[in-house]
Amino acid sequence: MRHTATRSVITRYAAVIATGAALAGVPGALAAQRIRSITGSAGDTARLTPRRDVGTIDGVITDSTLAPLVGAQVTVLSTAVRVGTGPSGRFRIEHVPVGDYVLIVRRAGYEPTSQLVQVRATDTLRVAYTLQRAVTSLAPAIVTEERHSIRLAGFDERRKLGVGEFMTSAEIEKRNSVFATDLMRRFPSINVSPSHGKGAMAEYYALSKREGANPSLGACPMAVFVDNVSMPTPFNLDLLPSPRTIAGIEVYNGPASAPPQFAGFNRGCGVILIWTKDGY
């Protein structure tokens, strides 16, 4: 029963209106795309009629000086919805079915961010994001082997070291799971636990099997990253992408074993890194 609400969202449609530049093949200023239908229907369109069970997300993206950022990309996790910002730094997504979503905000040269938002019926959710400049330097790399995905290069290197727990794309396909939550249950370090804090529908979280305490969950929630973007903690696993879009998963049961670049606040309970095939 816990996936009833999620499946109802899958069958609905979202219209994307980008006040700035439209991205990811969204034609012009208006396109209709299926919410959570990222399995190959990015080009699908549908005629929409006014509904009372949908809302709107309206936002602005700035830098640390509060100057609008043009060309920032906003993605709704686990969907094909991607919009860009114009000179005003604004974006708008309309006709979004009610429910919880994760917004991922990116722009070249800036640290990405994410936020869990709740869309209410006939309501306009107004959000604002301030991106910090990235201060990273990359050393030159010499490629002497078969070319692999740049995003998965770190995954392959860490898997060879044997520190942590890993699940490759081949292993994910072999399990043939419908929901990413089911994949999480396969890792010895993860305790997938339900929480009824928001209502009758259970939400499932990844909790560390190490000893810990959390005021809301009574346990130790693990930090979740999707394609290098930190998700809100604790994170509802039902909001993760479909298993057939996931290229790899790595799990670290504590800060001592986690890669240094994923260390930081709220990492003491362990880290889960999820890599998608297409990236966000």
pLDDT for 136 equals 59
DSSP H or E segment with residue 202: none
DSSP H or E segment with residue 167: strand 165-168
pLDDT for 1 equals 45
Helix, strand, coil percent content, the chain, rounded in steps of 5 = 15, 35, 50
**Contact of 93 with 80, CB cutoff 8 Å:** no
User: 3-state DSSP call for residue 161?
Assistant: helix
**Contact of 280 with 226, CB cutoff 8 Å:** yes
pLDDT for 25 equals 34
Structure tokens at 102: 């994760």
pLDDT for 29 equals 33
The average confidence (pLDDT) of the chain is 78
- Return d(Cα 40, Cα 49) in angstroms, integer: 24
Residue segments in the chain with a per-residue pLDDT below the cut of 70: 1-51, 136-149, 196-200, 211-218, 280
pLDDT for 197 equals 61
Domains and CATH numbers, the chain: 12-131 (2.60.40.10), 153-276 (2.170.130.10)
Structure tokens at 269: 């309970």
- Return d(Cα 191, Cα 220) in angstroms, integer: 10
**Contact of 216 with 242, CB cutoff 8 Å:** no
**Contact of 195 with 176, CB cutoff 8 Å:** no
- Return d(Cα 121, Cα 96) in angstroms, integer: 9
User: Furthest-apart CA pair in the chain: how many Å?
Assistant: 57
Q: Give me the residue label for tokens 């799990």.
A: 251
pLDDT for 10 equals 33
The size of the chain, in residues, is 280
Per residue in 156-198, pLDDT (tens digit) is 999 999 899 999 999 999 999 999 999 999 999 999 998 866 5
pLDDT for 2 equals 45
